[in-house]
Structure 1
Amino acid sequence: MGETTLVIMAAGIGSRFGGGIKQLEPVGPSGEIIMDYSIYDAIEAGFNKVVFIIRKDLEKDFKEVIGNRMEKVIKVEYAFQEIDDLPAGINVSTKRTKPWGTGQAILSCKNLISGPFVVINADDYYGKEAFVKIHNYLQSVKNMDDKYNYCMAGFILGNTLSENGAVTRGVCSVDSDFYLRDVEETSGIEKIGDKAVVSLADGKTKEIDKNSYVSMNMWGFLPSIMNELETGFIEFLKNLGDVDEKKEYLLPTIIDNLIKENKAKVKLLESNDRWFGVTYKEDKDVVVSSFKQLIAQGKYPEKLF
């Protein structure tokens, strides 16, 4: 079997929580962090390499907390996402302080990817089902002529809400064969009672069906995506102007464009697992008790590795 890679986007860790790197805090009974569980599930599903996308300044801490341990169980490589890592010949004068978003993150590991790969966020727990479905799907399409055949894990909105505040989710619409039509980034989704509700600009609220599929930034790709990301990034930078210091080159938007241009087909693979992550500091307790529960159910051993 060829190389199949788990790509973990971790360049943004720490930035949303000030000094302490919340995403690297233990949540499992033997000191595991959320990433440990993702890597465990990915290995179990058949992925045999992990690429961590991090910032250069986090390298030492990151290796101490997780990287060095992981090298004992799976092949590990690092890609560095930096603001000034731009395509040849492109110069951008900007006051921005952080890199260019998830599209640039994936592009930073272009030279480390030789086969199918799955992309996830560092601080999200996705469950076992999605890794298995994505791995199997990527194995089935990797020899097809249709090189832009990708996939994503579709989570049920109700399984992804936080008790502690509003979240942003990519709400998906699909055709009858479960191919993605579009992903609509929707911010401010709150859990109110047993409903999912969005506050609108005019002060009113709108309910979203809790059974809608949402994207949690878990994508299955073939290496062909890299060329599209590269040409897209050049376009993005050329059209940036001086207007928006914070504008990001984001995967959902990129995928959306590829679908609309008929360049890519993206299969939505349904996962019924409950997602959880540390969006708010208060979420940590929920995450800790969720892992306790999963261990009690026999889904994970007390000590992962």
Structure 2
Amino acid sequence: MLVFNPSFVARAGWLQPAPDFTNYDVPLYQQIVNHIKAKVLARLGEGKNTYDRFFIIPFAYEDKTNDPGLSHSFMTVIRVVADDRQPQSVSGLKLRKYRNRNFEAFTISWLPHDFGTNPHLCVFEGPGARLFPARNQCPISVGRDFKLEETIKLAVGVKNAVCMWGPYEITKEAFDLAVKRLRFLDSRAIKYRADDRLYRKDRVAINCFHAMQGLDELFPNGGVFGTGFKMWGIKGTARVLIEYKTKAKIRGLLLEPVDEKKDRFGFVYAPARDSRQIYDPFKTASAYRR
């Protein structure tokens, strides 16, 4: 006889511990910011920080059906300024302070420019569009890089599961490449299209996955037949991390090991503290309600 333990919920087909409800009443964006700060400070340690340190925090969100129109990949990049230096901000970035440490951060989150007010993403439209990119009737859109708070608001709006990895330490060269990517996106030299199979090679349009993938080259491939197809949400960002491991690390950009499966930490929506049947694809997760 199987006795149901209320501390367990169905998660991706297995019985696993329920998400942590300790911070349930803390808004999701603040939970994420607190988590990042705690992780980065732990990495810096208590001693004097004598040189600039750089980190990336990859993210993804998705719903329980893994609908590509409700999925997204994005990444936050952080520079922590050395303690013994006069802080100078990178042009276009805002210098901030937390616990006597100066830092600057930005997020690469590439979406249609009006997605905040019109969050209906056209991914595949037309007979055979998923298999044959030429049949996809979705339009090309003007893109915009969304800030972290804006992006998390989108996830909360559809009650998605949010995954984060890291922080992973990177070199200054990698940070500079990320800044270059941010400026490229902000220049509007390229547009947005969720299915970018016919457009990214000629730098016409890219999706969120390719906007953040490959800090050392613009449009690397991945996914089914090397097209990026079926790469969205958690799988999409996991593919990005595989790209970083196999290419960026060779060039010395990534300074530590990455395990795209074991390093996941999740944030999952629960309508109430006693909620069960929560969509929770993570081994470790924190619950949120707003």
TM-score of the superposed pair, with normalisation by structure 1: 0.27
Higher helix share: 1
Higher strand share: 1
TM-score of the superposed pair, with normalisation by structure 2: 0.28
